[in-house]
Chain A
Amino acid sequence: MQRVKHNWLNLTLAHTALIAYTIIALFPVVVILVNSFKTRKAIFREPLALPNSETFSLVGYETVLKQGDYFGYFQNSLIVTVGSLFFILLFGAMAAFALSEYRFRGNTLMGLYLAIGIMIPIRLGTVAILQFMVAAGLVNTLTALILVYTASGLPLSVFILSEFMRQVSADLKDAGRIDGLSEYRIFFQLVLPLVRPALATVAVFNMIPIWNDLWFPLILAPGEDTKTLTLGSQVFIGQFVTDWNAVLSGLSLAILPVMILYVIFSKQLIRGITSGAVK
């Protein structure tokens, strides 16, 4: 009896806390979504009210889709984010595999060297990066952004992935070697599927800062053809006048792709945890 009561109390408290947190976290998103469907006047008069027949308006979305190459920006953001994630995961996992699997002189030192990047913000090197990109002729290309994000994402991903890879059964890799699998196939077919939860974690960690970044697109790729969504949306925020309808609509649209990517990764993440891969 005592136990049941205790559990019930715990459960209520836990759920109250979680629900409260959910509301706090979702509130701004909901406000953005709701207001993106309202007229400018309604946004300011009653920011929390739902749109009704009088205040409903799609003018924000119309502006966003008409002005500038919104789909182009979208595409750029998507290419940069997905491309960077791909290289972060690929190179990060490869480096992590080497660090965790092979004994070589300087292994620990190499691990530390790669981990230092976690503590040094890449923006400190902006000037040098810009000079480098100018010299390489990569200014105003998406490649420049992908290179920079890959470099900045690698340290943490190597760090996390090598921890996980150490836990993959050594016998399994050895069984692969005896069966004649190459080190590449051992890596891609045996080890990577088993660290999928870690890959998903790294992907989620890296995805949102890349998608939202304004700094490097502004410096390295401000041209019309290479503008990312975040940078493209800035046209609606002026020094004197801000087109709030357009800003809110633009933000609402920008949420969608990250959400889709997140759902894909988190599904992987949960599947990885629950399937209990080995043994």
Chain B
Amino acid sequence: MGSLTLKNIRKSFGQVEVLHDINLEVEEGEFVIFVGPSGCGKSTLLRIIAGLENATSGDVIIGGERVNHLPPSKRGIAMVFQTYALYPHLTVAKNMSLGLKQAGESASVIAERVKMAAGMLELEPYLQRRPAELSGGQRQRVAIGRAIVRDPKLFLFDEPLSNLDAALRVNTRIEIAGLHRRLGTTIIYVTHDQVEAMTLADRIVVLQGGNVEQVGSPMELYNDPDNIFVAGFIGSPAMNFLDARLLDMPPEVKTIGLRPEAISLGDDGPIAGEISHLEHLGADTNVYVHVNDKLLTVRLFGQHDYEVGSTVRLCFSPESVFRFDVEGKRIR
């Protein structure tokens, strides 16, 4: 019902190809997140799924049906936009019900669905207000409500939280996770915030420059990245990369990667460095260490104190070292 298949999707704007042969299978009920740096084509891919943009070639299959030639409203999808995109001249209730009215649903069905969605999102007191009379968080909830009311096979979210402040973002994130649990609908969600990706996703699709770099569960990507890009993109603080010649490595290994949390500081370790800065976060301490002109991050659990400028050695177990070849491919 709510599965999604992308087959050989390509997209060009004029001469520039921005998506190169994207293939993806999403199963019914999955929460899939597209992450990647700005401009990598996440929004474009989402818009192709929605039908707001035509792929240059390739197929979009929703619920087993090829939908290439269907307009957005006939694809059984609902979309939540970064800018909320509420109709400024309509009340909250009308904003939520417009899609159903267009589809010719009966008034009783519409009223019931709006009531259900409003209840779920705690929007009942605001149903007769206009968007201009709501706070940012409330507007985002209305936008989500508008999507729920359509009862879609597939939810599409394009960076829905990036206009909210930090506290609200955490709340709404939890709300979206709860919504997915309750509704069980397939969700495709775009973000460039990897914390959002790690906390919400069943599977993450890492995109770069219009290519899929890797697809996997958050922990698969964290523990077993395919290449240097995914290794550096997933995890916060980001993985440290060092010249392989610092360690005794086979000749094909060009770069080694070390997670900040896999390193500890001690008196005997293979690499020496100079402490350049400390960040005390309470539960963690981030120590920045200079090694041969490179700044490494070491994340220590708990509270620690070191003198800036002192020399330390980095300790880590050999299994925690990620190895990459000249092209950035992982050597396992």
Does A253 interact with chain B (Cβ within 8 Å)? no
A residues 166-224 with Cβ under 8 Å of B? Answer: 169, 171-172, 174-181, 189-190, 193-194
In whole angstroms, how far apart are the Cα atoms of A174 and B48 in the complex?
A: 12
Q: B99 to A180, Cβ gap below 8 A?
A: yes
Chain B interface residue count, Cβ-Cβ cutoff 8 angstroms? 26
Known A180-B73, A193-B89, A194-B88; judge A175-B103 contact (CB<8 A). Answer: no
Question: Most chain-A CB neighbours within 10 Å: which of B85, B86, B99, B103?
Answer: B85
Q: B102 to A181, Cβ gap below 8 A?
A: yes
Q: B85 to A174, Cβ gap below 8 A?
A: yes
Q: A169 to B99, Cβ gap below 8 A?
A: no
Q: B83 to A178, Cβ gap below 8 A?
A: no
Q: A171 to B73, Cβ gap below 8 A?
A: no
The digit string for B111-134, where 1 denotes a CB below 8 A from any CB of A, is 000000000000000000000100
In whole angstroms, how far apart are the Cα atoms of A189 and B132 in the complex?
A: 17
Does A279 interact with chain B (Cβ within 8 Å)? yes
Report B292 CB to chain A, min CB distance, Å.
47
Report B126 CB to chain A, min CB distance, Å.
17
A169 is contacted by which of B79, B83, B150 (Cβ under 8 Å)?
B83
Known A178-B50, A178-B73, A179-B102; judge A171-B88 contact (CB<8 A). Answer: no
Does A276 interact with chain B (Cβ within 8 Å)? yes
Q: Which residues of A contact B47 (CB under 8 A)?
A: 174
Known A180-B103, A276-B132; judge A175-B81 contact (CB<8 A). Answer: yes
The digit string for A235-279, where 1 denotes a CB below 8 A from any CB of B, is 000000000000000000000000000000000000000011111
Q: Which residues of B contact A175 (CB under 8 A)?
A: 79, 81, 85-87, 146
The digit string for B34-59, where 1 denotes a CB below 8 A from any CB of A, is 00000000000001001010000000
In whole angstroms, how far apart are the Cα atoms of A279 and B81 in the complex?
A: 12
Closest partner residue, chain B, to A185 (CB atom): B102
B residues 121-172 with Cβ under 8 Å of A? Answer: 132, 146, 150
Q: Which residues of A contact B99 (CB under 8 A)?
A: 178-180
Q: Assuming A178-B78, A193-B89, what are 4 further A-B pairs, CB within 8 angstroms?
A: A174-B81, A177-B71, A179-B98, A279-B83
Name A's B-contacting residues (CB within 8 A). 169, 171-172, 174-181, 189-190, 193-194, 275-279
